[in-house]
Structure formats: C-alpha cells, structure tokens
Amino acid sequence: MAVPVPFGQYVQLDSPMHRLDARVKIGVTAAFTIALFAVDTWLGLAVVGIMAAIGVTVSRVPVGLAARGIRPIAWLLAFTLVVNSLFPAQASETLVQLGPLAIDAAGLQRGLFFSVRILLLVFGTSLVTLTTSPVALTDGLAQMMRPLAVLRFPVDDAAMMMSIALRFMPTTAEEAERIVVAQSARGARFDTGGPVTRAKAWLPVLVPLFVRLFRRADDLAIAMESRCYRGQGRTRLRQPVMRSTDWIVLVVGLGSALTIALVL
Amino acid sequence: MGLILDSASYAYGAGRPFEVPALVGVTLEVQRGSLTLVLGSTGSGKSTLLKVAAGLLQAQRGSVAIDGRPLTLDTARGSVGLVFQDPEAQLFADTLLDDVAFGPKNLGLTPEEAQTSARDALSEVGLDPVAYGARSPFSLSGGEARRAAIAGVLSMAPSYLLADEPTAGLDATGRAAVKRLLLAQRERAGVVVVSHAAEEFLGEADYLMILDAGEVGWAGPAAAAIQSPEIFSAHGLRAPEVLEVQRIAADAGHRFSRYTLDPDEAARMLVGGGV
Amino acid sequence: MIQFQEVSFSYPGSPAGVRALVDVDLVISSGQMLAVLGANGSGKSTLARLTNGLLVPDAGRVLVDGMDTSDDSLGLPIRERVGMVFQHPDDQIVAPAVEDDVAFGPENLGMPRAEIRLRVDSAIADVGLTGLERREPHLLSGGQKQRLAIAGALAMNPRYLVLDEPTSMIDSQGKREVTEVLARLRASGHAVLLVTHDVAEAVRADRVAVIDAGRIVFQGTPEELLHRRTEFGAWGLEMPPGGVLAERLRALGRPIPVRAMDAESIGSSLWA
C-alpha cells in the first residue's frame, strides 16, 4: 500500500488564514521578517509576537503543530543563548560564576533577544507553510516572480519547473524507497561501517534512481510535447484573484510591519 | 521448518495519531518445495506482507520465524530472496555479471565465488553468461532486464523466494519465461508469488491466500479455491476468466460436479450442461 | 484520417539495416477504433509516436488530415488533433493536482480561462473522475492515473486518440476502468488507435493491424484475425485463456462472437 509521503507541513483546514491569497501571506511574512531584524527593543519583539499569536489563532492550527517547526532549531537557540551569555560582545557585570565560565548579564539578555527573534522568524514562516497548500504556494511564488520577466528572467519556465518538482517529489520518494527495499533484500546494508562505506552503500540505490529519473524526464518531455507545450504563450486555469479581504490584510500587514520597523 | 508468519501485524506510523494498519493478524506458512499465491487488490497489504516476510519490516504483533529461528534482517540475509515489483529498478552495476554478483558479495562470498554464483544464476534465467555477462544491464530489453534482476536474487540461492507481480508489463514471451523460471525454483525453494491477478499462477500454485484490507480473506489449498470461485469476487478480485464463466453458468442454474481451469474441459462441461 | 504511406523509420545510432518500422501502410479513419497488436520490440510504440510528429519517418509520409508530420510549422495543429496517452501512468502527469493536469493542454494552447474551465470539467466527467479535481496524482490508483492521462488528452478536443499500451502497467480493476472509458469514447465518435500486446483488448476494436519486426503482417477485422490463429505464436502473440475457451466452445458448435473473450460476454452469448 502507498505510504503517505509527508510533504511540507500543510495542515488542511478551513480558516480565514487558509483562504488568504498565498501572495499576501508570503508578502506580509516577508515584511515582518524584515521588521524583526529592524527592531531592537523588547517591545518591538513583543508586538511581533502578539501579531504571530493572532495569526495562529485565526489559522485554527493547533498550537502544538505550529510549534513543531521550532524543534529542529532548538539547538540553534540554545547555542545562541550560551555563546552570547558566555562570550558577550561587551562584557558587563557577571551574573553567575561557574568555575572558569562567567555568565554575563548583558550577554544573557542579548542571547535571549536573538533567540526570541529566531523563534518568531521560524514561527512566522511555518505559519505560511502550515496554512498554504504546496500548489497554492508555488502558484503564488510564480505570480510574484512575474515582474522579473522584464529582466528576461524565464518566469514561465521557472514556474513550470517548480510545479513539476512538486508533482514528482512524492513519486520519486516512493521509488527511492522501493529501490532501498530491493537492495536491502540483496543484502545491502546502509547503517554499518564508516562514512566512506556508508556513502558507497548508497551507490546501488542512487544509480538506478538516477537512471529512472533521466528516463522519466525523457518520457515526461515527450508527454509534454504531445500536449502542445512550447514554454510560452500559456494561459492558466488557476489565477489567484485578490479579494477585498486580501487587499485589507496586505495593506494592514505591510503597514504595521513598516511601523514596527521604524518606530520600535 | 519453513517461513512462518504467526498472526503478524504491522502498521505504518504505529503509535502516532495517523497510524495506518497495513497487515492485521496474518498467518502464513511457506515450506520448501511449495508455491504459494498471495492475491489482493491494490492497498490490500501485499507489499507490506512481502517486506515483513523478507525481514525488512518487523511485525509489531505476532511472530515471524524462518526454519525455527526468529526472522530478522540478519537471519533473512541470503535465505529469503525478494523479487520486487519492477525489479529492473535494482540494476546498477557496469556489467551484468557484477550486478548479479552484488548479492553473493554482500553475503561475504569471495569475488571468485560470487562470480561463479552469478554465472550460474544467469544461465538459470536463460541469459548466457558469456554473451551477456559483460554487457551493461541498461542495454537489455524489458524481458531480459526482468530476468537479469531475478538472477540477481537467485545468485544468493535463497531457501525462500518472494516475488511481487513478477510478470507485470511483460508480453506473452516474457511472461512465459518468467513463469517457467519461478516454477522451476520450487524444486529447491519455497516460492511465494504476490499478485492482483489470479490468471497467471493459480493453476500451478499449491496454496492460495487472499488478502483483503490487510487481513486474510481466504486461505487454503489452491485446488480448493478453484472449487469455490465465488471467493475471488467476494474480496474485490477477479477469478480467472475460464473459472468465472463457470461461476456465471452456475448462477444461471447449471450444475457442475467440479470446476476446472482447463478451457477444453470447461467447454465440454458448459456445452453438456454439466458432467 | 491519419495515413501512413510506405513509412520506414530507424532510430539514430541503431546498427545499419536495423529498422524499427519497414514500409508501413496504415489508415486510421474518423470514428473508428484500430488496434495495433504486437509483441515487445515489434515497433508498435514507434508507430504510435509517428502519428503526431514526435518522430518523423525516414522514408514515406505520415499525414494527419492531410497535414504532413514532417512539416515543423504544422506541429501544433497536428498535436491538437492527435491526443496521446502513454504506458507509464506516472511519467505523463505533469501537474501536482488532477484538474491542473487536465488543464495543461488547453493552457499550452493559450485558451481563455473560461474555456479551459469548461473543457477541464467535461474531460474529467468523461473519464469519471468528477470529485477528485483537487487530488494529488500520486494518491490515485493506476486506473485513475491512466484515466487522468486520457482526460488530459481529451481536454484538447482531439479528433484522434492514440494510446500506447495504456493498461499494461495497471491492475485488472484499472484495466476495466480504462476499457470502459475507451468504449464510451468510441461510441461518441472519437477515432482511437490502441497499441497493445493483449489479444483480448485488440479484438474489441473495429479493425486490427498486427505488427511484427517492424512490418505490418496482418490488417483486417477481428474475425479475419482469428482465421490467422496458427500464426499467433510466430508473431509473439498469445491467445488469452478466455479466448481459448471461446474457441473450444465455437468448435463445439456454440456461436460465441469473436469479441467475446471475457467471462461476461462469453456467458451472455451462451445463454442469450
């Protein structure tokens, strides 16, 4: 049976956040990312944090799920905190002395500040991927790239590439799994030996996988040609339309991000 | 002795909220010298059954044993051969001989021993090692590649051979060759063929197991299955055409003393209105 | 009408004298279903790829409604008329959702959005996939994937539909689904070219051409094909068990139609 291949972290729900145009979500998140780096006060971080909290509430995504994106960066946060408190840019008073290590008060504060900033950054971006289907996300990105056509950037080709990548990721993952199983059954081991042995062990998987990918690319090119693909002159079935709520969220979102960046 | 699954269960993502049970309490006993046909529609758990029987997945409940020992990746090595669906996907080496020798080498044979096993296996699948041994596996035709991939499993001389849809996508000549090959393996191994179609192997099988939604829908001697053709449709499968005609005839009121897969006999019985 | 006129073709790089197709004469008429029957490596897929100019003949001509496929400037109108479906369901689905994939052809033709919408909805309905518009292709069954591929071709409103072994990689349930869709298409007046190695599939067509080693060795009705039964082995073909049973029944005096090789049609003709 087909094992569901988890793709991204999209949580299919119906919420105002889910219904929002992907471009608005990407744009506003980008604006807040910039704002996050511009603010240098705790008040600024707090305001951004409140905005993020409102976002999660509106999205109806369980907080536990939304927080899952933070787990992989836990080490980064800890590292930021430790490095800043132990090796402050400018030493101030020592809070605690642990043998040769001194925890610096200002350093600790700085570390906390950076950590929260990273936390909010990851939280905000995962809010986009949690509430936007991969299809809508690539469509939105493709739309946002459109102005680059003026610079002769091959916008249509890029959009097509993203769409095909999205289409074939699960298929390729399934195929890789099948080949791993087949080679395991022939006695191949992927979990023993040093790094070189391990890397070599993957050869019997990678070679057939690439052979397949190239053949698939050939077949796909023929299929696309048969369906009149020319790389240009395409119209689209799906054209994201900005509704009034989208415009309102965009203006309010960009406005508040700008205000936070400039004022706080 | 034998390859024995005793009430084996397996679920993907076990213990997590999106747990997907794929195999539920399946019991199967495979002895050397026998051919077992496992039938099931798409999503019935066939692939999972194969992986569990090959030691690639560990049953979460129940037990799996091979010749009296618990089946693990280690005890399965070299003893259980798996011909996966579309097995030509496993071909990777520069030459066919190297490719077929991959399994024996993994079992710890010396390069010379491995080459000898590989040559024997190639001859067995009808690919002359002298003519084919030095060729690239990617230069073979569809039917040849399928047989080469099977040689890559036979070279390990497994006591149990599991094959998933071994004839899918092949034409008449290719199907006949692969079928002959697998039937010949029964001489020295326990063979399990997993398929969605009863047509190809039912006549030759010793045992039949039908999987339905991860559970055993029917199990017993293949000869008994032929005498109860309604079991196929009861589990979302199609009986072999010759048998299905007799089932339709029985529904229409004809009485047969016995059902048969043989078209000649079936025709005589249908025309005679029974035997 | 698609005409093959003394068409020969060799793949570049193949040894001298090895030709994939040799002097092929063939006509695919509107409103008709033609099966091209042959073993693996007989040249049947090559023949399919010559119908819409993916390949062009070395010698001879292929004409689609009079348009020569070797004329580059006619590529688009030819492909718009000749829809094509391939063997591997996974390798022809382009988009990450069902309806986007069906829309791919019309999008390439630069159609207005409203027209694309109409065509997509009607093609999806034609193959019975209504309700699965937003489904991701890798979550579909084999039969559904092939029906999606057919819908993708239909959305271009082709006159001819060319299918290259569409059922050889899918299970029996999927085969039945695809066969039903093909029967409906033929009934609605489409010309269908079905490339297959399955005799039971081929005899459902109006006409059958058998190809062996690049040459057309037989052309005629399914009835005429069965008169050449003794040559099946030499052509690399196999009579399926249902066909064998039908033969035996005919030998015993029962009037089983030539097309009946499956249990239901044999049954219904036995007790009509």
pLDDT of residue A3: 36
pLDDT of residue C238: 92
Three-state secondary structure call for residue B209: strand
Nearest by Cα to B202 from B261, B161, B160? B261
Contact C1, C81 (CB under 8 A): no
Q: How far apart are CA C261 and CA C204, in angstroms?
A: 9
Calculate mean pLDDT across residues B74-88: 87
When the pLDDT of each residue in chain B is averaged and rounded to a whole number, the result is: 91
Give the max Cα distance, chain A: 73
Beta-sheet pairing, C21-28 with C2-9: antiparallel
Calculate mean pLDDT across residues C37-45: 93
The pTM assigned to this predicted structure is 0.86
Contact B243, B229 (CB under 8 A): yes
The backbone torsions φ and ψ at residue B239, rounded to the nearest 5 degrees and listed phi first, read: -70, 160
Three-state secondary structure call for residue A127: helix
Nearest by Cα to B83 from B174, B200, B167, B172? B167
User: What percent of chain C is predicted at pLDDT more than 90?
Assistant: 83
Q: How far apart are CA A208 and CA A176, in angstroms?
A: 9
Calculate mean pLDDT across residues A21-45: 90
Q: Does pLDDT of A114 surpass 80?
A: yes
Chain A residue with Cα closest to C100: A237
Please answer yes or no on whether B271 and C252 come within 8 Å at the CB atom. yes
Q: Does pLDDT of B158 surpass 60?
A: yes
Smallest Cβ–Cβ distance between C95 and the set A167, A225, A234 belongs to A167
pLDDT of residue C115: 96
pLDDT of residue A8: 54
Please answer yes or no on whether A182 and B89 come within 8 Å at the CB atom. yes
Chain C segment 79-108 residues within 8 A of A by beta carbon are 79-80, 82-84, 86, 88, 90-97, 99-100, 103-108
Contacting residues of B for A181, CB less than 8 Å apart? 51, 56, 82, 84
Contacting residues of B for A179, CB less than 8 Å apart? 89-90
User: What percent of chain A is predicted at pLDDT more than 70?
Assistant: 97
Contacting residues of A for B77, CB less than 8 Å apart? 187
* Site from C172, C195, C254 to mutate, B interface, most B CB atoms within 10 angstroms: C172
Q: Tell me the HSE value of B258 on the side-chain side, using a 13 A CA sphere.
A: 8
Identify the chains in contact with A, defined as 3+ C-beta pairs within 8 A: B, C
Q: Does pLDDT of A6 surpass 60?
A: no
**B→A interface, C-beta within 8 Å:** 12, 18, 20, 22, 42-45, 47-48, 51, 54, 56, 73, 77-78, 80-82, 84-87, 89-93, 102-103, 106-107, 138, 152-153, 156
Contacting residues of A for B20, CB less than 8 Å apart? 1, 3-4
Chain C segment 37-56 residues within 8 A of A by beta carbon are 49, 52, 54
pLDDT of residue A4: 36
Bigger pLDDT: C232 or A132?
C232
pLDDT of residue C41: 87
Smallest Cβ–Cβ distance between C91 and the set A134, A135, A220 belongs to A220
**DSSP classification of residue C149:** H
Q: How far is CA A233 from CA A62, A160, A261, B42, in A?
A: 43, 13, 41, 40
pLDDT of residue A163: 87
pLDDT in tens, B99-156: 999 999 999 999 999 999 999 999 999 999 999 999 999 888 888 999 999 999 999 9
User: Both tokens of residue B109?
Assistant: 């044979």
Calculate mean pLDDT across residues C234-240: 94
Calculate mean pLDDT across residues A58-81: 82
Smallest Cβ–Cβ distance between A182 and the set B43, B90, B156 belongs to B90
Pick the most confident of A57-71, A172-186, A229-243: A172-186
pLDDT of residue C271: 79
Bigger pLDDT: B263 or A199?
B263
Q: Does pLDDT of C234 surpass 60?
A: yes
When the pLDDT of each residue in chain C is averaged and rounded to a whole number, the result is: 93
Residue type, position A29, single letter = T
Contacting residues of B for C169, CB less than 8 Å apart? 168-169
How far away is chain A from the Cα of B117, in angstroms, using its nearest Cα? 14
Chain C segment 122-141 residues within 8 A of A by beta carbon are 136-139
Please answer yes or no on whether C54 and A222 come within 8 Å at the CB atom. yes
pLDDT of residue B141: 85
* Site from C139, C165, C237, C248 to mutate, B interface, most B CB atoms within 10 angstroms: C248
pLDDT of residue A1: 33
Contact C32, C191 (CB under 8 A): yes
Model ipTM?
Answer: 0.90
Q: How far apart are CA B260 and CA B237, in angstroms?
A: 18
pLDDT in tens, C149-162: 999 999 999 999 99
Smallest Cβ–Cβ distance between B82 and the set A1, A185, A208 belongs to A185
Contacting residues of A for C106, CB less than 8 Å apart? 235, 237
pLDDT of residue A178: 87
Residue found by looking up tokens 């590989």 in the block: B118
pLDDT in tens, A43-55: 888 999 998 899 8
Smallest Cβ–Cβ distance between C120 and the set A216, A235, A237 belongs to A237
pLDDT in tens, C45-83: 999 999 999 999 999 999 999 999 999 999 999 999 999
How far away is chain C from the Cα of B114, in angstroms, using its nearest Cα? 32
Q: Does pLDDT of C174 surpass 70?
A: yes
H helix runs in A152-202, sequence order: 155-185, 195-201
Q: Does pLDDT of A10 surpass 80?
A: no
Give the model's confidence band at A235: pLDDT under 50 very low, under 70 low, under 90 confident, else very high.
confident
Please answer yes or no on whether B20 and A212 come within 8 Å at the CB atom. no
Contacting residues of A for B43, CB less than 8 Å apart? 1-2
Nearest by Cα to B120 from B137, B139, B133? B133
pLDDT in tens, A247-261: 999 999 999 999 888
Contacting residues of B for A182, CB less than 8 Å apart? 82, 84, 87, 89-90
pLDDT of residue B17: 67
How far away is chain C from the Cα of B108, in angstroms, using its nearest Cα? 36
Smallest Cβ–Cβ distance between B22 and the set A1, A178, A188 belongs to A1
Contacting residues of B for C237, CB less than 8 Å apart? 172
pLDDT of residue A5: 36
pLDDT of residue B273: 54
Residue type, position C213, single letter = A
pLDDT in tens, B186-233: 999 999 999 988 888 999 999 999 999 999 999 999 999 999 999 999
Q: Does pLDDT of A193 surpass 90?
A: no
| C-alpha A34: how far from chain center | 16
